[in-house]
């Protein structure tokens, strides 16, 4: 038990140290611009399609469920506000972060773990090149740039999915004007901002966890798989755990 | 222990009572030696004797649990040391960057440190490729190369770094005799032309005999013998004889085909 606690604290300490070291290299970010652009492209290009599909159907299902319940009491006009708020305050940032963990986080962990196992990280250190500088910091900068775009994209696609269902499903049959009107009446800019803040925090830590798990890999190739699994699981637990506290703080 | 450390192009290395422990396993105990500037120093020993751990400790990848390693007069584990002294390690498995071509592997160090412009980097890389007969492999990725070629690329990559201290981990393992001889020549040539201080970990008796100025023999994490190759090979100690006698005794083979 004591060993598990020690190992957990050791893990937390490693993440904090990695964050500190990587942020210490921020002044050299302009020199790493090529890598930042590459990682932005990888994170965006790989994640946008799946974010679009997931967000569209989450918006659609949300509209369907709320529409079914609300039409029984004649309150269909509230669908827009419910879908709008749920998606932008909660579902878009959380789902985007989940997808980032599954799609980009896992690939990042696999890449860094493989570099660690095959001694490429050691080779970098012997060349006096810090892995935190060229492998971690540019990824953190990239996720900081790309995450708001992903979250906003997810929000709009989700809203759009909800609108289509509200209009074309016969038992709801809500006009888009009323759908958007309901959304605009009940939402403020701070709702969207809160979603973006959440997404930013989740995305940043998903990539940090992915990098840390990759760089902490030791042993043989089998460990690469274990690290990838651990990275995704830890990221998801982190997202769910911090979501509650961030939501509470932002209310 | 007097170490010659005067050469500006190369550096001396001193290990002072180095001990390394992983959990309850003591891997190295009280290991002390010194390597002079421009010297080729060979570390030999059977598998599991702690040679590679010692090499990783010397270059600062591992922190000794006891004692210390000095590169010049600076601690090997101090990050500042690696800013002041160019060190390179040729890993046993190459440790090449698998996502890059051979050319980019070689150009990686000067590009990252911005120590030369692209035409100069190209010239240096091409020179290193030519020295190790790797011109045809420049555009390949490491996965497309044989074990021997990967090892040569690793040496070429180290060459481009123009190190003052160059460490080799089993440079001739998994190579055919011709290629092993070529690598021995390269190590010797590098010392002659660039006066690089070299530390070579090897099982290869021929390599040790041919290129070493001095050597140590490790067993169970402690130094069992030190001196020149001739001095060591003439010792009567059982450990040394056991290690240096031919691997296959033709007169009395240990394994016989069962009739």
Query: B156-187 pLDDT, tens per residue?
Result: 999 899 889 999 999 888 778 887 888 888 88
Looking at every residue in chain B, the average pLDDT score rounds to: 86
Residue ranges covered by each domain of chain B: 98-161
CB atoms B82 and A119 under 8 Å: no
In Å, how far is A219's CA from the nearest CA of chain B?
14
CA distances from A66 to A70, A82, A158, A182 (A): 6, 8, 14, 14
Question: How many other CB atoms sit within 10 Å of the CB of residue B61?
Answer: 18
Mutate to test the interface with A, among B62, B71, B109, B114 (most CBs of A within 10 A): B109
Residue A250 has what pLDDT? 87
CB atoms B161 and A134 under 8 Å: no
Determine the residue of chain A that is closest to B106 in CA distance.
Answer: A127
The pLDDT tens digits for B102-146 are 999 999 999 999 888 999 999 999 999 998 888 999 999 999 998
Chain A residues inside the 8 Å CB shell of B108: 127
Q: Does A107 touch chain B (CB under 8 A)?
A: no
3-state DSSP call for residue A140? Answer: helix
Chain A residues inside the 8 Å CB shell of B97: 115, 120, 123
Q: Which two tokens stand for residue B20?
A: 């390394």
CB atoms A118 and B98 under 8 Å: yes
In Å, how far is B126's CA from the nearest CA of chain A?
20
Question: pLDDT-derived band of residue B245, with 50, 70 and 90 as boundaries?
Answer: low
Q: Does A126 touch chain B (CB under 8 A)?
A: yes
Q: Which two tokens stand for residue A161?
A: 């999915």
Residue A205 has what pLDDT? 96
Mutate to test the interface with B, among A33, A39, A127 (most CBs of B within 10 A): A127
User: Interface of chain B against chain A, CB under 8 Å?
Assistant: 56, 59-61, 82-83, 86-89, 91, 93, 95-98, 108-109, 112-113, 161
- d(C-alpha A188, C-alpha A210), whole Å: 34
Contact B231, B58 (CB under 8 A): no
The pLDDT tens digits for B195-208 are 889 999 988 888 88
Chain A residues inside the 8 Å CB shell of B60: 125
The DSSP output letter for A72 is: T
- d(C-alpha A175, C-alpha A159), whole Å: 14
Residue B55 has what pLDDT? 92
Average pLDDT, integer, range B226-231: 87
Residue B244 has what pLDDT? 66
In Å, how far is B238's CA from the nearest CA of chain A?
34
CB atoms B108 and A127 under 8 Å: yes
In Å, how far is A118's CA from the nearest CA of chain B?
6
CB atoms B112 and A134 under 8 Å: yes
Residue A242 has what pLDDT? 94
CA A146 to chain centre: 10
Residue B3 has what pLDDT? 56
pLDDT of B48 strictly over 60: yes
Q: Write down the pTM of the prediction.
A: 0.86
Mutate to test the interface with B, among A3, A30, A110, A123 (most CBs of B within 10 A): A123
The pLDDT tens digits for B1-37 are 455 565 566 789 999 999 999 988 999 999 999 999 9
pLDDT of B153 strictly over 60: yes
Cα four-point dihedral sign B40, B46, B47, B48: negative
Determine the residue of chain A that is closest to B62 in CA distance.
Answer: A122
CB atoms A129 and B109 under 8 Å: yes
One digit per residue, the tens of pLDDT, for chain A of length 251 reads: 888 898 889 999 999 999 999 999 999 999 999 999 999 999 998 889 999 999 999 999 999 999 989 888 888 889 999 999 999 999 999 999 999 999 999 999 999 999 999 999 999 999 989 999 999 999 999 999 999 999 999 999 999 999 999 999 988 888 999 999 989 988 888 999 999 999 999 999 999 999 999 999 998 889 999 999 999 999 999 999 999 999 999 88
């Amino acid at each position: 038990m004591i060993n598990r606690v020690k190992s957990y604290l050791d893990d937390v300490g490693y993440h904090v140290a990695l964050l500190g070291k990587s942020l210490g290299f921020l002044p050299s970010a302009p020199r790493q611009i090529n890598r930042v652009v590459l990682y932005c492209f990888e994170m965006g290009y790989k994640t946008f399609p799946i974010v679009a599909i997931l967000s569209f159907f989450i918006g659609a299902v949300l509209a369907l469920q709320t529409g079914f319940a609300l039409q029984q009491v004649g309150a269909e006009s509230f669908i827009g506000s419910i879908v709008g708020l749920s998606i932008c305050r909660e579902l878009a940032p959380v789902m985007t972060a989940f997808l980032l963990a599954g799609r980009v986080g896992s690939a990042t962990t696999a890449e860094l773990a493989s570099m660690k196992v095959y001694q490429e990280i050691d080779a970098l250190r012997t060349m006096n090149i810090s892995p935190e500088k060229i492998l971690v910091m540019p990824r953190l900068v990239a996720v900081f740039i790309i995450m708001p775009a992903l979250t906003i994209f997810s929000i709009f696609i989700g809203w759009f999915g909800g609108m289509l269902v509200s209009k074309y499903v016969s038992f709801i049959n809500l006009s888009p004007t009323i759908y958007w009107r309901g959304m605009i009446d009940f939402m403020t800019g701070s709702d969207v901002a809160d979603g973006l803040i959440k997404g930013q925090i989740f995305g940043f830590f998903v990539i940090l966890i992915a990098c840390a798990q990759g760089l902490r890999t030791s042993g043989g190739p089998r460990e690469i798989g274990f690290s990838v699994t651990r990275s995704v699981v830890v990221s998801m637990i982190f997202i769910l755990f911090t979501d509650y506290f961030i939501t509470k703080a932002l209310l | 222990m007097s170490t010659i450390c005067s050469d500006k192009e190369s550096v001396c290395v001193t290990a002072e009572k180095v001990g390394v422990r992983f959990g309850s396993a003591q891997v190295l105990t009280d290991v002390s030696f010194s390597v002079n500037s421009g010297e080729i120093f060979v570390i030999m020993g059977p598998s599991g004797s702690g040679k590679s751990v010692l090499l990783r400790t010397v270059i600062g990848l591992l922190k000794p649990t006891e004692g210390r390693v000095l590169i010049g007069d600076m601690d090997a584990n101090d990050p500042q040391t690696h800013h002041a002294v160019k060190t390179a390690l040729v890993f046993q498995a190459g440790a090449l960057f698998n996502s890059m071509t051979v050319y980019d592997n070689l150009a990686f160090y000067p590009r990252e440190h911005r120590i030369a412009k692209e035409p100069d980097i190209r010239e240096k890389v091409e020179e290193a490729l030519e020295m190790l007969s790797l011109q045809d492999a420049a555009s390949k990725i490491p996965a497309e190369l044989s074990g021997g070629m990967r090892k040569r690329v690793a040496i070429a990559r180290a060459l481009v770094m123009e190190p003052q201290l160059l460490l080799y981990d089993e440079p001739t393992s998994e190579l055919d005799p011709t290629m092993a001889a070529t690598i021995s020549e390269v190590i010797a040539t590098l010392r002659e032309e660039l006066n690089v201080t070299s530390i070579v970990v090897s099982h290869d008796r021929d390599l040790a005999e041919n290129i070493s100025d001095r050597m140590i023999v490790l067993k169970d994490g402690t130094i069992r013998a030190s001196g020149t190759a001739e001095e060591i090979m003439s010792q009567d100690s059982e450990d040394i004889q056991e290690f240096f006698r031919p691997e296959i005794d033709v007169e009395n083979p240990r394994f016989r085909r069962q009739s």
